[in-house]
Structure 1
C-alpha cells in the first residue's frame, strides 16, 4: 500500500480553503477587467477627441492635451490591475507548463503600462489640435521613456500569449492554444507595421494590442470562473 503525495500547491489550497479561493478570484477579477476597461476608455476617447485620427495617431497620444489626464489614468489603473491580476494567474497556473513565465510576463506588461502612463509622449502629427504635422524635430526624455515602456509592454504581451499557447497545447486545449498564438501574432504584426511607418500602422498596433490584452483577460476570466466551482 502506498501513500499518494499531495503537491504543495494543492495542500496549501486545501488548508486555506475559504480564504485562498476568494482571494484568488479577486486577483483574477483584476486581470479580467483591466483590458476591457483600458480598451473601452481609449476607444471612446479616440472616437470623441477632436483632431484624433486612429489611422495616424497611436492611442498613447491621447495622454496629450487638456484631457490627457483621462488616458494617463487609464494607463495607470489598467496597468495596476494587470500587475495585481498576474498574481492570480500565478496561483492557478502554478506547476503547469508555462505556469511560471506566463504570469511573470503579464506582470511585466502591467508594469510597462504604468510606466507608459507616467511618461507621456510628445504631441505630434497634428494632435492635439494646433500641433504641427509630422514628428517633432527633437524628442523629450519622457517621450523616449514612453516608447521604451511601450516596447516592454508589447514584447512581454507577445511573449505571454505564446507561452499561454504552449500552456494550453500541453493541456490538450488546441482551440485556446491557437487563440493564444493568434493574439500574440496579431500584436507582433501590428507593432512591426507601426514601427515600419506603414500607412495605418497606428490602427494595426491598436488592433493587435487590444487583441492580445483581451485574450489575457479572457484567460484570467476562464480561471476565475473555474476557481469558484
Structure 2
C-alpha cells in the first residue's frame, strides 16, 4: 500500500511538470522572438518571418529558441496523452482520441527540425543580403519541410481537440480550437502563396501568436486536472 501511494504522486508531479513546461513554451518563444524582432539590426517584423532570425551572428538565439520551445512542447504532448487517457476511460465518445497529443508532438518535432535546418537569408536580412535575394539551398528546403510538418501538426491538433472538447460538452474551448486551426491554416496558406508580402507576413505573425496562445491554454487546462 505504501508503494502505491509513493508511485501515484510521483507520476502526478511528473505529468504536471511536463505540462508546466508546455505552458512556459509559448510565452517564452514569443518573448524571445519579439525581443529579437525589435532589436536586431535590419530586421523588419512586417517583412521578415521569425525563422530568418536564425541567420547572422546572433542567429544562435533563435536556434536555441526553436530547440527549447520544441522540446518543451514535445514533452508536454506526452503529458497530454497521459491526462486524456486517465480522464476519458469511461467515455465511449472520447476514448481513443489520442491523435490530438500526437499532433501536438508533431508540432514540437517540427520546431526541432526548424532548428536543424535554418531558413536561408532573404529580403535583405541579415544586413548585407540583397533585398531581392531569394535562393533556396538544401538547408532552406529542409526548413520549408520542417515548417510544413510542424504547422500541419498544429492545425491538425487544433481540429482534433475541437472535436475532443465538443464531445466533453465544452463548446467554448471547442470553438477556440477550431477557429485557431482554421486561422492558422489560412495564414500559412497565405504566406506560402504570397511570396513574403507584408500582409501575409503580418497575418502569419498574428497566427503564430494565436497558435501559441491556444497551446498555452490547452496545457493549462490539462494541468489543472493532472
TM over 0.5: yes
- Quote the Cα distance in structure 2 between the aligned partners of 1:59 and 1:21: 35
Inter-partner Cα distance in structure 2 for 1:98 and 1:43: 38
State which of 169, 172, 175 in structure 2 corresponds to 1:175: 172
Query: SS at 1:211's partner residue?
Result: helix
Please tell me whether the aligned partners of residues 98 and 163 of structure 1 are also in contact (alpha carbons under 8 angstroms): no
Q: For 1:199 and 1:33, how far apart are their aligned partners in 2?
A: 29
5 Å-filtered alignment, 1:60-75, equals 60-75=51-66
Q: Deviations over 1:151-207 (max 9, x none)?
A: 111111001011110010000001000111111112111111111114421221121
Shift of 1:93: 1.0
Q: Rate the CA distance shift 1:74–1:98 in 2: closer, same or farther, 3 A.
A: farther
Runs of 5+ unmatched residues, structure 2: 89-93
Is contact 2:124–2:133 with CA below 8 Å preserved after alignment?
A: no
Verify the 8 A CA contact 2:191 2:200 in the aligned structure 1: yes
Given the superposition, is the C-alpha separation of residues 200 and 109 from structure 1 closer, same or farther in structure 2, using an over 3 Å criterion? same
Does the C-alpha gap of structure 1 residues 206 and 42 become closer, same or farther in structure 2, counting only changes over 3 Å? same
The equivalent of 2:115 in structure 1 is: 117
Match of 2:102 among 71, 94, 104: 104
Measured against aligned partners, the alpha-carbon deviations of 1:19-69 in whole angstroms (never above 9, x if no partner) come to 221111011112111111111100111111111112111110010111100
Name the counterpart of 2:156: 159
Structure 2 residue aligned with 1:10: none
- How far does residue 99 in structure 1 lie from its aligned partner after superposition? 3.3
After the TM superposition, which residues 1-229 of structure 1 pair with which residues of structure 2 at under 5 Å, given as runs? 16-94=7-85, 95=88, 96=94, 99-136=97-134, 138-197=135-194, 198-227=197-226
Number of residue-to-residue matches in the alignment:
214
Give the whole-Å Cα distance in 2 for the aligned partners of 1:212 and 1:14.
38
Gaps of 5+ in 1: 1-12
Counterpart in the other structure of 1:7 = none
8 Å Cα contact 1:187/1:207 also seen in 2: no
RMSD of equivalent CA atoms: 1.7
- State the Cα distance separating 1:90 from its structure 2 match: 0.3
Shift of 1:209: 2.0
Q: Secondary structure at the match of 1:126?
A: coil
Q: Distance in 1 between matches of 2:163 and 2:61?
A: 36
Taking a change above 3 Å as real, the CA distance of residues 172 and 126 of structure 1, as seen in their structure-2 partners, is: same
